[in-house]
A and B are shown apart, each in its own frame.
Chain A
Amino acid sequence: MWTVPHIRRSRKCAWGGETIEYLFPSLVLLLTSAFFGAYVFIPVSIGVFLFLFFAYGNRRCLMLIPLSFLSLIHPFLSIVAIIGTLLLLERDNFHRVFYIVGSVFLVFIIFPVLSLLLYFSPSVIHDTSLLNAISVSIVAASISTIIAILFALPLGYILARKNFIGKRFFEGIIDLPIVIPHTVAGIVLLLVFGSSGIWGAPLEEIGIRFYYAMPGIIVAMLFVSAPFVINQIKEGVKKVDERYELTAMSLGAGRFRVFMDIVIPQIRGNIMSGAVNAWARAISEFGAVMMIAFYPMVAPTYIYYLYTNFGLKEALPATALLLILTLSIFSILRYIAGRLEND
């Protein structure tokens, strides 16, 4: 009576199957904490092994706890407990190899980010230049995203609905800002939007200045981030059967009305996730923005300025704050976009 469920649970533990897997996140967690030294690794691993014991009901998980104390001898010996976890909870060699290689790459991203956060100190909020730079970044990225959506709606629609000569070529052009080096993008924009540029000079005469000014930042951000919105809207419109539009027209709606009533509500998830990606791209842009407008400083430019003038140590707290801010805004927006898309 007692042994049957026990055997079934340990099988589940070994093969995963359709049940929820805990092994991979445990590996990532253990591997990450190992890099922070024995005093971080031991408590984390005790927590992980206790959790695995309760989740799988496999007593051998508890045997791993003493192994984690090996890291006191040398941090490198943390690997013994990690390998032990892998051997104990996964029987398939193929999955063992893929699990360990996969988690190493995740740690490659997670560990540096976490180490930076350690340098966060609340005192940076007294740095008014930093706060200025961050607000310039957020305002400029938001304006550039809105402009991108306004242009991407018609462009994405045309690309999704119409067939024309050179369509592939134009689609390639739209992706161009993603593939060219960002300093190249900056030079290109400087050429036309600069104070003596073909568009920049006449616009400056009517009072719109790009070089070393906010419009310059917005133009640079727009240039590098618009492709994300355009491609998302194109994919969204493709998924809306054109016969919805035709039906709405035969029911009496004009073209623009149909676009607002029938197309946009069905692609709002795409619009939102395109906007989120574009916004994130815009706020992270440094190369192109710096070339056309070093001042007013955006946040990445300010961090570069801190680093080059005062060294790594001075730049770290500001960088940590920027990281926390962008990560949290990005996750909230992504969550909203996901909700819209699932509707």
Chain B
Amino acid sequence: MIEIRDLEVSVGDFRIQVDKLRIERGDYLIIVGPTGAGKTILLETIAGFHRVKRGKIILNGRDITYLSPQERGVSMVYQDYMLFPHMTVEENIGYPLKIRKMEWRRRVKELAEDLGIKHLLRRYPKTLSGGEKQRVALARAVIIEPELLLLDEPFSALDPNMRDSARKIVKNFIENLGISTIHVTHDFSDAWIMGNKMGVMRNGKVVRFGLIDEVFSSPQDDFVARFLGATNILRGIATSRKDGLLEVDVKNVKIYTTDDADAGEEVLLSIRPENIVLSYTTPETSQRNVLPAEIDDIHMEGHIAWLILKIDGIEMKAMLTPNAVESMNLEKGKKVYASFKAAATKIVRRV
């Protein structure tokens, strides 16, 4: 279990401030965030590479805030792996045991076998491929059975088509060992495949933290919602409740949501573009939000068609397949109905 309380660190011009972060034994926490959010600095702080200004880091009941890196039982794997270039793969993996004057060759062999890198033991790091380097770095990091494993964008240096298999190998390996892990990434696939908890960082702060699906399905914060997907974010004022639904006035357009807010309160709504259905006639469905719209623009992005809709004074993005656009003969300037469920409309922030 690791717990971070009121942590504040500054490194050069960067400053990170984490009020509360807690994961349990065996958890796999994914931290996402834009470049410059301070993700790597957070990892390095937990590893003990930066001086903490204030706050506490508690690992399995032990206050490690001011311990030096070698006393923490925390292993860090950098994005570019940092394999020692003057040591063979075997010496690299065995280094943590060698320092402790423990028998290392046998244990190195076992680990290398588990990770399928036994044939590389005599080689030097510069002769390895990205995926091989990664497995060597991982083996080296876990050979002392750390209480916490830190991974800094472990898959970003790999070929995109190798990432899936690498994710599976790493995931199974870490799961079997049962080591708590914090994994920093900007790739959401990492999150879905590997993690069970998720944190979103921005400007040195963790702005959202929770179970993965929880964070994705209710971002709770306009930055998180926007970062996690090209979601429509609308600002409106909650007016009244009807039939268990809340009516929100967005520039005189009435939108219904199942979420709750007080009347007169200003709120931010999020509507996922893939939840918007378009039709030429008023649809006869249970969708509570049916709005007359005009297509302002259409643009293709690979296998996705983005439509910009004008609904009175507001603008919304809808996501369709290029096939649908063609069969419905949708064009710029056409008038359509945009409909979406009240349940698909979330209040991400109560201003």
A residues neighboring B (CB under 8 Å): 241, 243-244, 246-254, 257, 261-262, 265-266, 343
8 smallest beta-carbon distances between A and B, as pairs: A249-B69, A251-B96, A247-B82, A265-B86, A250-B69, A250-B76, A252-B70, A246-B49
Query: Which residues 148-166 of B have a CB within 8 angstroms of A?
Result: none
Task: For B74, list chain A residues within 8 Å (CB).
Answer: 250
Interface string of B50-86 (1 = CB under 8 A from A): 0000000000000000001110101110100010111
Q: Which A residues lie within 8 Å of B44 (CB)?
A: 246
CB-CB nearest in chain B for A265: B86
**B28 in contact (CB, < 8 A):** no
Interface size band for B? 20 to 34
Q: Say how far A150's CB is from chain B's closest CB, in angstroms.
A: 22
Chain B residues positioned under 8 Å from A250 (CB to CB): 47-49, 69-70, 72, 74-76
Contact among B49, B72, B85 with A266 in the assembled complex (CB-CB below 8 Å): B85
Which chain A positions have C-beta within 8 A of B99?
251-253, 257
Q: Decide: A248 and B100 in contact? CB cutoff 8 A.
A: no
Cα separation A152 to B96 with both chains bound (whole Å):
29
- Contact status B47-A248, CB under 8 Å: no
A-contacting residues, B243-257, CB 8 Å: none
Q: Which residues of A contact B75 (CB under 8 A)?
A: 250-251
Contact of B47 (CB < 8 Å), options: A241, A246, A254, A262: A246
Most buried by A among B44, B95, B100, B140: B95
Q: Whole-angstrom distance from the CB of A254 to the nearest CB of chain B?
A: 6
B212 within 8 A of A: no
Q: How far is the CB of B135 from chain A (nearest CB, A)?
A: 16
Q: Which residues of B contact A241 (CB under 8 A)?
A: 82
Q: How far is the CB of A237 from chain B (nearest CB, A)?
A: 15
Residues of chain A lying within 8 A (CB to CB) of residue B72:
250
CB distance from B104 to the nearest CB of A (A): 12
Given A246-B76, A247-B76, A252 and B96 contact (CB-CB distance below 8 Å): yes
Q: How far is B101's CA from A252's CA once the two chains are assembled, in angstroms?
A: 11
Residues on B with beta carbons closer than 8 Å to the beta carbon of A254 = 68, 70
- A266 touching B86, Cβ below 8 Å: yes
Q: Please report the C-alpha to C-alpha distance between residue A14 and residue B78 in the assembled complex, in whole angstroms.
A: 52
Establish whether residues A246 and B69, one from each chain, have CB atoms under 8 Å apart when the complex forms.
yes
In the complex, the answer to whether B76 meets A262 with C-beta atoms within 8 Å is no
Known contacts A246-B69, A247-B76; is-contact A252 B100 (Cβ 8 Å): yes
Tell me the minimal C-beta distance from B106 to chain A in angstroms: 19
Report the minimal beta-carbon distance from B279 to chain A, rounded to whole angstroms. 56
- List of B residues within 8 angstroms of A265 by Cβ: 86
The distance in angstroms between the C-alpha atoms of A274 and B44, with both chains bound, is 34
- Check B141 for interface membership: any CB of A closer than 8 A: yes
Q: Do residues A251 and B82 form an inter-chain contact, with CB atoms below 8 A?
A: no
A90 to B163, CA, bound (A): 54
Name B27-54 residues within 8 Å CB distance of A.
Answer: 44, 47-49
CA distance A265 to B92 in the complex (A): 14
A246 to B50, CA, bound (A): 10
Residue of A nearest to B48 (CB): A250
A241 to B70, CA, bound (A): 18
B144, CB-defined interface residue at 8 Å: yes
Q: Which residues of B from 88 to 105 have beta carbons under 8 Å from A?
A: 95-96, 99-100
- In the bound assembly, the distance between CA atoms of A148 and B48 in angstroms comes to 33
Partner of B84, one of A244, A246, A252, A257: A244
The residue in chain A whose Cβ has the minimal distance to the Cβ of B82 is A247
Distance from A72 Cβ to chain B, minimum over Cβ atoms (Å): 59
CB pair B76–A252 under 8 Å, yes or no, is no
The residue from B47, B49, B144 contacting A252, defined by CB atoms under 8 A apart: B144
User: Are A249 and B68 CB-contacts (below 8 A) given A243-B78, A257-B99?
Assistant: yes
Residues of A within 8 A of B140 (CB): 251
Query: Looking across the interface, which residue of chain A has its beta carbon closest to that of B100?
Result: A252
Further contacts, 7 of them, CB under 8 A, given A250-B72, A252-B70, A265-B86: A243-B78, A247-B76, A250-B48, A250-B75, A251-B75, A251-B95, A266-B86
Write out the residue numbers on chain B whose beta carbons fall within 8 Å of the beta carbon of A253: 70, 95, 99
Answer whether A243 and B69 are a contact pair too, CB < 8 Å, given A251-B99, A251-B140. no
Q: List, in ascending order, chain B residues with CB within 8 A of A246's CB.
A: 44, 47, 49, 69, 76
Nearest A residue to B46 via CB reads A250
Question: Complex: how many Å from CA A243 to CA B72?
Answer: 17
In the assembled complex, how far is the CB of residue B101 from the closest CB belonging to chain A, in whole angstroms? 11
Decide if B78 touches A247 in the complex (CB within 8 Å): yes
Question: With a CB–CB cut-off of 8 A, which chain B residues contact A343?
Answer: 86
Return A255 CB to nearest CB of chain B, in Å. Answer: 8
- The residues of B that contact A262 with a CB separation of less than 8 Å are 84
A-B contact pairs, 10 of them (CB 8 A): A243-B78, A244-B82, A248-B95, A250-B75, A252-B70, A252-B96, A252-B144, A254-B68, A261-B84, A261-B95
Chain A residues lying within 8 Å of B69, measured Cβ to Cβ, are: 246, 249-250
Which B126-158 residues have C-beta < 8 A from chain A? 140-141, 144
Point out which of A250, A265, A343 has the most chain B C-beta atoms below 10 A from its C-beta: A250
Residue of A nearest to B74 (CB): A250
Across the interface, do A251 and B141 meet the contact criterion of CB distance under 8 Å?
yes
Closest to B78 in A: A243
CB pair A249 B70 closer than 8 Å: yes
Chain A minimum-CB-distance residue to B77:
A247
User: Which residue on chain A has the smallest CB distance to residue B71?
Assistant: A252
